[in-house]
Structure 1
Amino acid sequence: MKINRLIVVFVAMVLGISCRNDDDGDDRIVVPPQTLIETAVENDADIKAFLETHFYNYEEFENPPADFDFKIKFGLISDNPEKLPLTNFVQTQVIRVTSLEFGRDDGEEVDQTLYYLIAREGVGESPTLGDRTVLQYEGSLLDGSLFDGSTSPLNQYLPGFLKGYANGVVKLKSGTGPVENGDGTVSYEDYGVGAIFMPSGLGYFSASPSSAIPAYAPLIFKIDVLDFEEDTDFDGDGIPSIQEDIDGDGDLNNDNTDADTEPSTIFLANHNDTDDDEDGIPTIDEIKIDGEIKKDANGLIIFPDTDGDGVPNHLDSDS
């Protein structure tokens, strides 16, 4: 899928648009990159305008016809004045983003608003930000231009995707299935169906991953959450990935206990590292108590701390 992002984000900085001066063919005007805050304000205004001027086929979701495919479709309020705008249905989540996440060192920290629509919640459970999921999706710009999509079930590990995308996915619940169709395909029923409207600060920001996605562009994703792997352990170290979000900020990619000892060309966040403290002892061996992994009443791992310094063994290189 084209919206994959690397654990370390390499951002191609947009240097601006050069325009030839009519008086001097060698003079060029360079437009500097936009800041995170100004882009957030512009994107939020554009998204709100879209939500106020468009509707979705909510009546079909409320009373599904026999042949309904449970696909979200948008239309213009100006052409259908009797319809309710998307603003009547969307919910929001505010997510703090730093410019450092996009390779900038200007110290900006900006709250970004994610807008999401739950057209059908789903009958299962919701994945966490650390889970593998089975999804179908469609990505577009606010003008309706499609840039990516999948019409068949696709496996996606959420920490490897855009922050806005992942945070939108976990608002929905899975369905039932898979059911073998007898032709090599599978199907699901009663799965969550929704849409995500994200500012570029929760997406690619100043990077342009393809000619189909301009820099600073807000994005829309229609999502079907079919299934997910509960307590996904991506690196197989015995700890569910979601429990490797050490600072609890919902971003598993900025938790890297042994960053100071890793080579400069390597960045392995804890959820992708089998030896989280780089002490030569596999994490899975350091989290065992009397030879086994023990959990509390909430299903959370009880991490041993042999030297009693408040740092669990698997995160403490001198334990």
Structure 2
Amino acid sequence: MKLNRIVALSALVVVLGSCNNDDGGVTVEPPRPLSEVLVEDETEIQEYLKTHYYNYAEFENPAEDFDFKIEIKEIPDGNTELVPLKDQVESKSVKVSTNTDDGEKDVSHTYYYLIASEGAGESPTASDSTFVKYKGMLLDGSEFDRSDSYIWQYLPNTIRGYGEGLTHLKSGGDIVVEENGTYTINDPGVGLVIFPSGLGYFNTARTGISAYSPLVFALELGVFVKNTDYDNDGIPSILEDLNNDGNLNNDDTDGDGLVDHLDNDDDNDGVLTIDEIEIDGEGNVTFPDSDGDNIPDYQDPDTN
């Protein structure tokens, strides 16, 4: 079964690289207004999309030894035959809560994604654990991080644009394990995501990344854990986005500083969440409300 193979692959976990959303860095304070930075980022991204292309011809007619890696190059001046990224990407917008004191509330941010090779399986949500390869770049082409081997990444623990980008890819097909213990994943999803700094590190600088930098990631999705339950509390992480804003990192029922998707006692009443919910034989989760106050027991410290 594929699930067994996924469990076996979990032994190969390595430390998450630069796309982690909380791995330190130097923060510029006070942060600039999101909407002001977004205008600048969007101008830079649009110029990038007009002046760059990827090796689409190799994906369309792959050679026998083609490695299905995305390579981005600048279009030479005067060349009208190469298809720019702007004619190949799709876009989607998500709202980002402001972190400034200038009266802004939510600012809609657009990211751009491209699917070079669709993949044979299903697509993860931004709440799942994924087994990926990636390369991170700035708009000037400089590379700041990469993993040429598959690594596990729990997407809510990565930066927002990166996690959103992976939701557009499909996982690979069969996992082929060789006699020497190495393995390959057939037909993985391969793509590209480009997003403004508000979906990245915004006003925090990291090694190779200045504050307020739009980012580009080439992505390869091998497998993922469907309905990931990261804190093992019986509730899939996707159901712990209580305000339905697509961001699991601002949902903290008990206000203890540990967000719900990482907290196995969501109401801090001393009873584990898994003991305050009901799971049937098919894995369906229901949420009892013992005192009838329209607050499920696992979120209500008055019931235990």
Contact 2:27 2:205 in 1 (8 A): no
Mark the runs of 5 or more structure 2 residues left unpaired by the alignment.
1-16
Contact 1:98 1:107 in 2 (8 A): no
Contact 2:253 2:299 in 1 (8 A): yes
Q: Which residue of 1 aligns with 2:251?
A: 255
CA distance in 1: counterparts of 2:148 and 2:26, whole angstroms: 30
Shift of 1:10: 7.7
**Does residue 124 of structure 1 match 2:121?**
yes
Q: Which residue of 1 aligns with 2:57?
A: 59
- Kindly provide the CA deviation profile for residues 115-152 of structure 1, in whole angstroms up to 9, marking residues without a partner as x: 11111111100111111110000001011100000000
Shift of 1:300: 4.8
- Kindly provide the CA deviation profile for residues 136-194 of structure 1, in whole angstroms up to 9, marking residues without a partner as x: 00001011100000000101000100000000011100002322133332211111100
Q: Which residue of 2 aligns with 1:90?
A: 89
Q: Paired residue for 1:2, among 4, 7, 18?
A: 18
- Kindly provide the CA deviation profile for residues 57-81 of structure 1, in whole angstroms up to 9, marking residues without a partner as x: 1122122222211111122223543
Match of 1:226, SS state, is strand
Mark the runs of 5 or more structure 1 residues left unpaired by the alignment.
16-31
Instruction: Tell me the matched-pair count.
Output: 285
Instruction: Flag the structure with larger Rg.
Output: 1
Contact 1:11 1:206 in 2 (8 A): no
- Kindly provide the CA deviation profile for residues 227-262 of structure 1, in whole angstroms up to 9, marking residues without a partner as x: 001111111111111111111111111111000xx2
Q: Paired residue for 1:163, among 160, 163, 166?
A: 160
Using the TM superposition, name which of 246-255 and 153-162 deviates more.
Answer: 246-255
Q: Paired residue for 1:149, among 135, 141, 146?
A: 146
TM-score, with normalisation over the residues of structure 2?
0.88
Contact 1:129 1:167 in 2 (8 A): yes
- 1:268-287 → structure 2 map (5 Å cutoff): 268-287=258-277
Q: Which residue of 2 aligns with 1:304?
A: 288
Q: Which residue of 1 aligns with 2:12?
A: none
Match of 2:286, SS state, is coil
Q: Paired residue for 1:223, among 219, 222, 229?
A: 219
Shift of 1:37: 1.0
CA distance in 2: counterparts of 1:51 and 1:147, whole angstroms: 20
**Does residue 315 of structure 1 match 2:303?**
no
Match of 1:152, SS state, is strand
CA distance in 2: counterparts of 1:209 and 1:300, whole angstroms: 42
Contact 2:25 2:206 in 1 (8 A): no
Contact 1:258 1:276 in 2 (8 A): yes
Q: Which residue of 2 aligns with 1:27?
A: none
Contact 1:257 1:270 in 2 (8 A): yes
**Which amino acid in 1 is paired with 2:85?**
L
Match of 1:48, SS state, is helix
Match of 1:78, SS state, is coil
- Deviating beyond 3 angstroms after TM superposition, the runs of 4 or more aligned structure 1 residues are 9-13, 104-107
Contact 2:95 2:245 in 1 (8 A): no
Q: Which residue of 1 aligns with 2:242?
A: 246
- Kindly provide the CA deviation profile for residues 33-64 of structure 1, in whole angstroms up to 9, marking residues without a partner as x: 53211110010110111111111111221222
Shift of 1:12: 4.5
CA distance in 1: counterparts of 2:32 and 2:101, whole angstroms: 14
Match of 1:187, SS state, is strand
Distance change (3 Å), C-alpha of 1:314 and 1:10:
farther
Using the TM superposition, name which of 246-255 and 179-188 deviates more.
Answer: 179-188
Q: Which residue of 1 aligns with 2:37?
A: 39
Contact 2:132 2:220 in 1 (8 A): yes
Q: Paired residue for 1:14, among 23, 28, 44?
A: 28
Q: Which residue of 2 aligns with 1:112?
A: 109
- Quote the sequence identity (%): 49
**Which amino acid in 1 is paired with 2:297?**
N
Contact 1:295 1:302 in 2 (8 A): no
**Which amino acid in 1 is paired with 2:51?**
T
Match of 2:110, SS state, is strand
Shift of 1:112: 0.9
CA distance in 2: counterparts of 1:81 and 1:71, whole angstroms: 24
Q: Which residue of 1 aligns with 2:130?
A: 133
Contact 1:198 1:219 in 2 (8 A): yes
**Which amino acid in 2 is paired with 1:45?**
T
CA distance in 1: counterparts of 2:36 and 2:275, whole angstroms: 48
